[in-house]
């Protein structure tokens, strides 16, 4: 399953997974774009197995509906790619009253993963095949707020910084992967959880970027990757047999890489896990 697969590196990841004979579920907010992506994959691979399900990661209700729809299909779940995201958007609250970048990039994936985890465990146990969860993080996790995660000020509009809020959400992706990896290892479950930085890629994520960022993109154009190059690390971590059993790690350019100090904090990861559970619970009660 690949979330956010209607365009960009998500679409390329879905295409590669389909080429490897995986039954791909494209989870996307824009169903029309997702169906176009499906047709693009089928055009090059007539034997591909691709289905589309609606998913808005900024809405916990939509995530629950998606999970219910997927489980009702009675399909196995070996690979989960948490790929969707938004970047540098103006301050906005989600339908559940949570700052939009944190809600979409982290909390949505956190909730989705938890809802699908039982299915992944069952699949790994019944098939004997290692399950793999891949979180798309970013080197931007290094550029976050001073305290790393602003637990007490997640929704503080007055001090909101669009770039640091994005970095915070990408740090949260790493911390989520690390804590989930630790928990699954404690359980002895045959599922790995890793994070990747896809690189600097020219996708529609930059629709909110300002003039400074656009100028920086021009000045550093030699460092930017095309979409297949950007999807390479995700596909490598999701599929390559050499990574069997490797978990709780961060990959860049298909190599393990040392994440920032906040990302390596077990205490911060555990606190984020509890904080995220409380947000989901509070939103459900509301």
Helix/strand/coil for 192: strand
Q: Does the pLDDT value for residue 2 go beyond 80?
A: no
Q: Which two tokens stand for residue 176?
A: 């989520």
More reliable by pLDDT, 209 or 147? 147
pLDDT of residue 218: 47
pLDDT of residue 42: 97
CA 40 distance to own-chain centroid: 22
Q: Which two tokens stand for residue 232?
A: 């390479």
pLDDT of residue 231: 87
What's the chain's Rg over C-alpha atoms? 18
Q: CA dihedral defined by 143, 5, 104, 32, rounded to 10 degrees?
A: 140
User: Which entry of 145, 160, 221, 250 is annotated as an active-site residue?
Assistant: 160
pLDDT of residue 237: 98
pLDDT of residue 189: 98
pLDDT of residue 235: 96
pLDDT of residue 225: 55
User: If you count them, how many residues does the chain have?
Assistant: 286
pLDDT of residue 282: 95
Q: Rounded distance, CA 84 to CA 104, Å?
A: 8
Q: Is 166 a catalytic residue?
A: no
pLDDT-derived band of residue 96, with 50, 70 and 90 as boundaries? Answer: very high
Q: Which two tokens stand for residue 122?
A: 């069952």
> Which neighbouring-strand residues pair with 132?
79, 192
- In percent, how much of the chain has pLDDT > 90? 83
pTM: 0.90
pLDDT of residue 229: 79
Output the CA–CA distances (angstroms, integers) from residue 88 to 82, 227, 228, in the order listed: 19, 20, 23
Average pLDDT, integer, range 217-243: 76
Report the mean per-residue pLDDT for the chain.
91
Average pLDDT, integer, range 235-239: 97
> Which neighbouring-strand residues pair with 6?
none
Output the CA–CA distances (angstroms, integers) from residue 164 to 47, 141, 149, 209, in the order listed: 43, 9, 10, 13
Sign of torsion over alpha carbons 44, 196, 133, 84: negative
Among the listed residues 141, 137, 158, 157, the one whose alpha carbon sits nearest the alpha carbon of residue 149: 141
pLDDT of residue 4: 55
Q: Does the pLDDT value for residue 62 go beyond 70?
A: yes
pLDDT of residue 217: 47
pLDDT of residue 222: 45
> Which neighbouring-strand residues pair with 49?
23
Task: Compute φ and ψ for 273, nearest 5 degrees.
Answer: -60, -50
């Amino acid at each position: 399953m690949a979330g956010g697969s209607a365009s960009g590196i998500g679409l390329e990841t879905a295409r590669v997974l389909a080429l490897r004979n995986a039954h791909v579920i494209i989870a996307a907010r824009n169903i029309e774009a997702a169906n176009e992506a499906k047709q693009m994959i089928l055009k090059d691979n007539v034997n591909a197995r691709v289905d589309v399900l609606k998913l808005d990661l900024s809405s916990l209700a939509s995530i629950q509906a998606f999970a219910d729809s997927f489980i009702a299909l009675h399909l196995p779940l070996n690979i989960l790619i948490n790929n969707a995201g938004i970047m540098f958007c103006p301050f906005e609250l989600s339908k559940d009253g949570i700052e939009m970048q944190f809600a979409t990039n982290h909390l949505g994936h956190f909730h989705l993963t938890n809802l699908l985890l039982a299915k992944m465990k069952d699949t790994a146990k019944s098939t004997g095949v290692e399950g793999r969860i891949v979180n798309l993080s970013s080197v931007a996790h290094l550029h976050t707020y001073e305290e790393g995660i602003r637990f007490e000020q997640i929704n503080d509009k007055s001090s909101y910084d669009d770039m640091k809020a994005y970095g915070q959400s990408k740090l949260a992706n790493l911390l989520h992967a690390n804590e989930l990896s630790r928990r699954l290892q404690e359980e002895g479950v045959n599922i790995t959880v890793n994070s990747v930085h896809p690189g600097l890629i020219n996708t529609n994520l930059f629709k909110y970027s300002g003039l400074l960022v656009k100028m920086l993109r021009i000045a550093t154009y030699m460092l930017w990757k095309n979409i297949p190059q950007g999807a390479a690390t995700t596909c490598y971590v999701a599929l390559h047999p050499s990574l069997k059993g490797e978990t709780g790690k961060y990959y860049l350019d298909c190599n393990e890489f040392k994440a920032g100090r906040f990302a390596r904090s077990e205490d911060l990861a555990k606190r984020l896990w509890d904080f995220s559970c409380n947000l989901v619970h509070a939103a459900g009660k509301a």
